[in-house]
Structure 1
Amino acid sequence: MSVVPVNPPLDRDASFLGAADGGKVTLSGVIPPVCTPLTPDFEVDTGSLTRLVDHLLDGGVDGLFVLGSSSEAAFLPDRHRRTVLDTVLRHVAGQVPVLAGVIDMTAPRVLSHVEAALDAGAGGIVATAPFYTRTHPAEIAVHFRTIAKRAGVPLYAYDLPVSVHTKLDASLLLDLAAEGVLAGLKDSSGDDGGLRRVILGRRNRDLPSFAVLTGSELTVDAALWMGADGVVPGLGNVDPHGYVRLYRAAKRGDWAAARDEQERLFRLFDLVRVGGPRMGGSSSALGAFKAALHLRGIIAYPTTALPQIALDSEEIARVGKYLADAALI
């Protein structure tokens, strides 16, 4: 199956890689959380992974985030995580920044993932608060300080309360940013007021190099208008060109064009619900992303990691209809 050349490649403008401030660089732009293609026997499909990376780079993205939620990092054994790191870092070869998720329950477990990420050459790392254990904000601060001290590369906090069951407080994030512990935030909390509190606090505390990235595919235009630096969109695997168009429209102040692109992507995002009530939201959303990538000819198989439930043929056909309506196939 061949890739349908719906959108021409976009030239990547170096100005979108971040704005320098005092010797530091603020990460900005479109940084998709890269899906992890799997074979039918649940091994990492490295050929499909490199095609996916090329698809994203051709779309004009400004960076890549591997081993996040859309990468199914929670489902992958350590050897699969290492395969993803080695494959992507080797293939990208410095074209864009690559962030590596080092997500695990507690700091000692995270540190082993940090070592693997550094060995592979990741330019930054992304960690959640500790989870499973019941954690106090003071312990969350120790967690991030411990990781940052060991890593020696930019550390980004991942606010994901739906999975971690802890909401990262704006004052804690900004305190850690002022200490030099955190380089930025990926906000997937769904709390727009909390996101605005971080953006306002960054301005009031004069922390311009602290990057604020939204993880919400559906409100990117609003987040950028508030002052966010970029987006980490799972749907960006399927349509990177669309998110790049949205971001660039916002950067040039064309908010009407940004809104139009956001509304098109909003309609496309409904594909995540094709699994309906017979499976969980993760199975449905990640299955839909992979089905879309398979239908677009980018990955060989739409396999999701166990114990997620696979989409059936009728559900995959519905994904295809969403793609057709969005002029992606």
Structure 2
Amino acid sequence: MRLTGVIPPVCTPLTPDHQVDTASLTRLVDHLLAGGVDALFVLGSSSEVAYLTDTQRRVVLDTVVGHAGGQVPVLAGVIDMTTPRVLEHARVAREAGVSGLVATAPFYTRTHPDEIRTHFRTIAALGGLPVYAYDLPVSVHTKLSAGLVLELAAEGALAGVKDSSGDDGGLREVILGRAAPFSVLTGSEVTVDSALWMGADGVVPGLGNVDPHGYAELYRCASRGDWEAARAEQERLARLFEIVRVGGSRMGGSSSGLGAFKAALHLRGVIDCPVTALPQTPLNDDETGRIGKLLAAAGLL
């Protein structure tokens, strides 16, 4: 069946010594489920997957799958540079009991579209679970073309796509060309209403960690055709999304965005510690205070 609704990419809370904080992670899962999400996506960009060791990845998988207990599907990112490495992550994720795999195009290596096609076909053939493509050119430096996505979907190699490319025209091309039950999910926190209006099936919002209720409400409004209410909720969430810019130019975009999500979760009492993985730059007290003001303005404190 087509995957739909709100599917947050679950943050990975860490202890001050940079180990996975499983107690905070289970509270975060409860927070998301109480917020009305439809599935969980672990080990994606907002999970800091690029920073986690293989051992830490397994801890996250076991903790989330075990605590969710089948209430909602759990998708696992199997993101790595090349196909053999992705297949090893897929094996571990499958053993942990996830419902699907999320993979990017290969990266670091310089690849050709034929090699990307082979990459996804191989994961689909050997991974043992439905595969969702993660279109993330800002990080992997390859844009998945609509033609390639639709070709792989038509032959059954892909069950869906998470589009974080920022290419609205390409997103619409996939929506228009897809056949059921292929899932089209937007990764943009701030244009969800327009993506759903175009025919997208759902959203994978990093900000959904902070305000899952808001994204669930936005999706409900869109589902019943109340586009004015959906727009109003989207605009509230867009203002809240300003938290990711609080870090400014003194740190990288990942440090600012992921640090903001974790600071907000800490301020909301969901996780114990807002630390991000090394070598990311931490937010300072002034920046955390500004995030608190934005949370309060959004009605979350």
What's the counterpart of residue 162 of structure 2? 186
What's the counterpart of residue 187 of structure 2? 215
What's the counterpart of residue 41 of structure 1? 17
Deviations 1:297-316, CA, capped at 9 Å, x for gaps: 00000010000000011100
The alignment partner of 2:101 has SS state of: strand
What TM-score does the superposition give when structure 2 sets the normalisation length?
1.00
Q: Distance in 2 between matches of 1:49 and 1:110?
A: 24
The alignment partner of 2:47 has SS state of: coil
Deviation at 1:277, TM superposition (A): 1.1
- Counterpart residue type for residue 171 of structure 1: G
Q: Distance in 2 between matches of 1:61 and 1:276?
A: 30
Verify: 1:236 aligned to 2:236, yes or no. no
Pick the aligned partner of 2:242 from 270, 278, 284: 270
Deviations 1:33-75, CA, capped at 9 Å, x for gaps: 0000000000000000000000000000000000000000000
Deviations 1:175-205, CA, capped at 9 Å, x for gaps: 1111110000000000101100100111xxx
Q: Distance in 1 between matches of 2:196 and 2:55?
A: 37
Verify: 1:298 aligned to 2:297, yes or no. no
What's the counterpart of residue 172 of structure 2? 196
Deviation at 1:224, TM superposition (A): 0.1
What's the counterpart of residue 113 of structure 1? 89
Pick the aligned partner of 2:252 from 272, 280, 283: 280
Q: Distance in 2 between matches of 1:28 and 1:283?
A: 29
Contact map agreement 2:94 2:128 (CA 8 A) in 1: no
Q: Distance in 1 between matches of 2:240 and 2:145?
A: 32
The alignment partner of 2:10 has SS state of: coil
Q: Distance in 1 between matches of 2:114 and 2:177?
A: 20
- Counterpart residue type for residue 68 of structure 1: G
Deviations 1:119-164, CA, capped at 9 Å, x for gaps: 1000000000000111111100100011111112110000000000
The alignment partner of 1:260 has SS state of: helix
Deviations 1:98-131, CA, capped at 9 Å, x for gaps: 0000000000010110011001000000000000
Verify: 1:309 aligned to 2:285, yes or no. no
What's the counterpart of residue 127 of structure 2? 151
Deviation at 1:94, TM superposition (A): 0.3
Q: Distance in 2 between matches of 1:231 and 1:51?
A: 22
The alignment partner of 1:26 has SS state of: coil
What's the counterpart of residue 81 of structure 1? 57
What's the counterpart of residue 300 of structure 2? 328
Pick the aligned partner of 1:126 from 102, 105, 121: 102
Q: Distance in 2 between matches of 1:177 and 1:201?
A: 10
What's the counterpart of residue 257 of structure 1? 229
- Counterpart residue type for residue 34 of structure 2: D
Root-mean-square deviation (CA, aligned residues, Å) is 0.4
What TM-score does the superposition give when structure 1 sets the normalisation length?
0.91
Structure 1 stretches of 4+ with a deviation exceeding 2 A read: none
Q: Point out where structure 1 has 5 or more consecutive residues left out of the alignment.
A: 1-24
Size of the aligned set, in residue pairs, is 301
